[in-house]
Amino acid sequence: MRSGQRVMMVFAHADDETLLAGALIAKLVSDGHDVKVLCLAPGDDDRIRRLRRACVDLGVSAVETLRFSESPMWPDDADETRKLPTKHLSPQLSLVPITELAYKVAGRISEHAPDVVVTHSSYGDYGNCDHAATFCATKLATESVGDEAIRFYSLGWARWMVGGNARLMRLSGRSIRRMGPDGSFDMWLALIRSKSPSITIDVSAELGVRRKASRWYGAEIAKGPLPMRLLERVPLILQRSFLGKARLRVEMAPEGFDHMAGL
């Protein structure tokens, strides 16, 4: 990928850009690319402020947000959300029709005219239904724009990491086949359908930038699962084993494009 390309990163929540792709973003910026971030369900004003601060640390040139709300991971978690006054709630991201989401994302793609679009994996990275919905909407949006020169990638993860996380969820009594607020997201089915070719990028040199940006999300990390909390605290030299390689799946590329050439 020649220097000076326009890259649009589309994420579901504030902190996804840093915790899932912070080192990748920093690598793209250091290589001379213009990176913009679109976040669909960023949270309240304080979290949006922290999103913008983290993106400054990562070198992002512009941040845009929509105002959907975050969906619960499991149907029983949705019970607490239902108790809140509905008139003050924006629609939960995973429950918004994909065509509606795609329409909004397509507008941003048309406006920024990126050379490359990157978003979550089709299986929601770790089974997050908002991430999976963002993938579907972004793919549909990229296709609908009609620019055949755009390259579209999704985040990819090592099978052992995804499988290990799924086993931990099953051990805790959670079903990976009934996720999201209405239990309609099947992580297992989405995972086995994910067969796109992938590329790997060494981002180990940018882990320090990622760590600097992640400090804006201390509250979110503290509420996260134990493996994530431990990983964020270990020395950078140990993080390299888990986060030193960024994997991207090639979802859409111009005819004849050699994906093995990578970014």
Which phi and psi angles does 72 have, rounded to 5°? -70, 155
Q: What is the pTM of this model?
A: 0.94
CA distance 119 to 57: 20
Tell me, yes or no, whether 207 lies in a domain. Answer: yes
Residue span of the structural domain in which 108 resides:
6-253
Q: pLDDT at position 260, please?
A: 46
Q: pLDDT at position 95, please?
A: 97
Give per-10-residue mean pLDDT for the chain (263 aa). 88 98 98 97 98 98 97 85 58 97 97 97 96 98 93 94 90 93 95 92 98 97 87 94 95 67 51
| Average pLDDT of the chain to the nearest whole number | 92
Going across the sheet that includes 62-65, the strands are 62-65, 34-39, 6-11, 116-119, 151-156, 245-252, 198-202
CA neighbor of 120 nearest in space, from 216, 251, 243: 251
CA neighbor of 128 nearest in space, from 83, 163, 76, 93: 93
Tell me, yes or no, whether 260 lies in a domain. Answer: no
Name 138's bridge partners: none
- C-alpha distances (whole Å) from 154 to each of 167, 182, 253 are 23, 25, 12
Q: pLDDT at position 82, please?
A: 54
* CATH number for the domain harbouring residue 107: 3.40.50.10320
**DSSP code of residue 185:** B
Tell me, yes or no, whether 261 lies in a domain. Answer: no
Tell me, yes or no, whether 1 lies in a domain. Answer: no
Long-range contacts of 216-219 (CB under 8 A, 24+ apart): 216/18, 216/50, 216/51, 216/53, 216/54, 216/57, 217/14, 217/15, 217/18, 217/19, 217/50, 217/54
CA distance 156 to 121: 6
Tell me, yes or no, whether 263 lies in a domain. Answer: no
Tell me, yes or no, whether 171 lies in a domain. Answer: yes
Element (H, E) at 9: strand 6-11
The domain total for the chain is 1
Q: Which tokens belong to 183?
A: 């239990």
Tell me, yes or no, whether 157 lies in a domain. Answer: yes
